[in-house]
Amino acid sequence: MNSIFQKLTRPFSSASMRFAPDQAAQTTMQVPEGAETAILAAGCFWGIEHMYRKDFGNKGLLDARVGYIGGNTESPSYRAVCSGSTGHAEACLLSYDPQKLSYRTILEYFYKMHDPTTSNRQGPDVGSQYRSGIFYNNDEQKSIAEEVTKKANEQWWKGGIVTEILPAGKWWDAEKYHQLYLDNNPGGYECPSHFVRKLPDLQ
């Protein structure tokens, strides 16, 4: 996971997107011309995907996938990631139309929908796989991530943010049963720290 993406119009290619072993038959995320992608880690990835789809599904979000990023092994499985031995974070890959939904809006929502002040945990879920992170695809995303994080830290989280801001490396789709998990399992587990906080607009 040491590779760094250069600034690309379409950040993901067949060379940079990989799948867990039982995902060979699953198609890669289709990123339409003009669309952009964002990768976020905020604890259990079921809730991240579900919340972004629910709140931005008709506001510029084109697709969302859950998977693994930031680790040091190839073809990570859910079991291996949960052991903490691979170094990966559970994360969500978002595809969006920047004409309708901005990267800044995505990140402001990110800082409202989880607790970014707890290191290697989210609610009752403990481990490096549940860390808070923003994985940027280019210099523009990096700059916006740093700016939004600084403001959110000062205005919302009283200096407590521990979110990592790192270049995106290789992305691995999670196993098929994790995709749309809470849509397919309405009574499934949801991290109690995943809810939208009522916070004032960032200045």
- What is the chain's alpha carbon radius of gyration, rounded to the nearest angstrom? 16
For residue 92, indicate whether it is catalytic: no
Residue 163: pLDDT above 50? yes
- The number of angstroms, rounded, from the C-alpha of 129 to the middle of its chain's C-alpha atoms is 12
Instruction: List CB contacts of 105: < 8 A, sequence separation 6 or more.
Output: none
Residue 18: pLDDT above 90? no
Residue 69: pLDDT above 70? yes
pTM, rounded to two decimals:
0.87
Q: Which superfamily is assigned to 36-184 in CATH?
A: Peptide methionine sulphoxide reductase MsrA (3.30.1060.10)
Residue 100: pLDDT above 80? yes
Q: At what angle do helices 103-113 and 139-155 cross, to 10 degrees?
A: 40
Residue 4: pLDDT above 70? no
Please report the pLDDT score of residue 3 as a whole number: 30
Please report the pLDDT score of residue 27 as a whole number: 56
